[in-house]
Amino acid sequence: MEFRTVVDIEDPGFRIRPFEEMLFVGSCFATEIGRRFQEAQFPATVNPYGVMYNPASILHTLQRLSTSAPSVAFLTLGTNHVYRLKETGEIVDNCQKRPQSLFTEEELSVDECADYLWQSIDILRRMNPEVHVVLTVSPIRYRKYGYHGSQLSKATLLLAVEKILGGLGNPRGPRESRIAYFPAYEILMDELRDYRFYQEDMLHPSQQAVDYIWERLVETCFSPEAKTFLEEWRPMKQALAHKPFDPESDEYRRFQEQTRLRLNSLQEKYPALKVNI
């Protein structure tokens, strides 16, 4: 008997290798996943100008980006709602606590979302023609829209992603490779559909849920070499985070020396691992 539905994840067509340059731009879910890459010692840039919820704001971040060219970029879409400053008509990324009366709220159409995404992908490809782009839709719901409105917003984003995956509206022509979709939204909605996988607000995924989505991402997108490194790094990460009861004890000094030797051995195997004790 089956007691849950497991989301099938399509092969992304590439595998993430150890220590590849990563970029994460988008909703707070992008921050959660990006942080896990940083903890796994990937050189990852995560929302360098703050959390960006909609496709237009994601584009604004990429237009300002000054980091090195990523090998893999995750763009995580949260909503199709945007705010325009009445005075200039521009879409703002952060209202900066200014009065709501200064802004108008709008909903981007499927075509508008897809157009902003194509522009973002074009910028990433100018930075690195070989970049792999992974699109995701954040599983976090928006209570302020009403739950039906939140679902409509997510549906708009999902339809825009589908246009991208099919190459529709692509200024460069038909469907291109190196663009994939990771179903974080579907995993939480369909596979983890129980309130125990949410935080107290019943909207944001719990750490357990994010950990599970991370495991599915590793399982699907990581190369065998990257998976091996994660297994070897996990006990080292725990050792480095250890807080001693008595830092001056002989026992802790021996523990530090053993940890240092293990770290040196790991760095000999992985020269790109930059960690000091």
pLDDT tens for residues 95-116? 878 898 999 999 999 999 999 9
Position 176 scores a pLDDT of 62
Edge-to-edge strands of the sheet including 179-181?
Answer: 44-46, 22-26, 72-77, 132-137, 179-181
Q: Give the lowest-confidence range in 8-12, 88-92, 182-186, 241-245.
A: 241-245
Average pLDDT over residues 246-251: 86
Partner residues linked to 198 by β-bridges: 205
Instruction: Give the alpha-carbon dihedral of 192, 220, 47, 234, to 10 degrees.
Output: 90
d(CA 147, CA 241) in angstroms, rounded, equals 40
Tell which residue, 98, 117, 99, 95, has the closest CA to residue 108. 117
Q: Which of these, 138, 190, 157, 145, lies nearest to 30 by C-alpha position?
A: 138
Higher pLDDT, residue 245 or 34: 34
Is 70 exceeded by the pLDDT of residue 255? yes
Least confident of 26-35, 168-177, 188-197: 168-177
Rounded to 5 degrees, φ, ψ at 132 are: -100, 130
Interval 52-70: pLDDT, tens: 999 999 999 999 998 789 9
Closest CA to 178 of 117, 135, 213: 135
In this prediction the pTM is: 0.92
How confident is the model at residue 244, as a pLDDT?
Answer: 82
What does the pLDDT read at residue 174? Answer: 53
| pLDDT higher than threshold 70 for residue 218 | yes
Q: What percent of the chain has pLDDT over 90?
A: 77
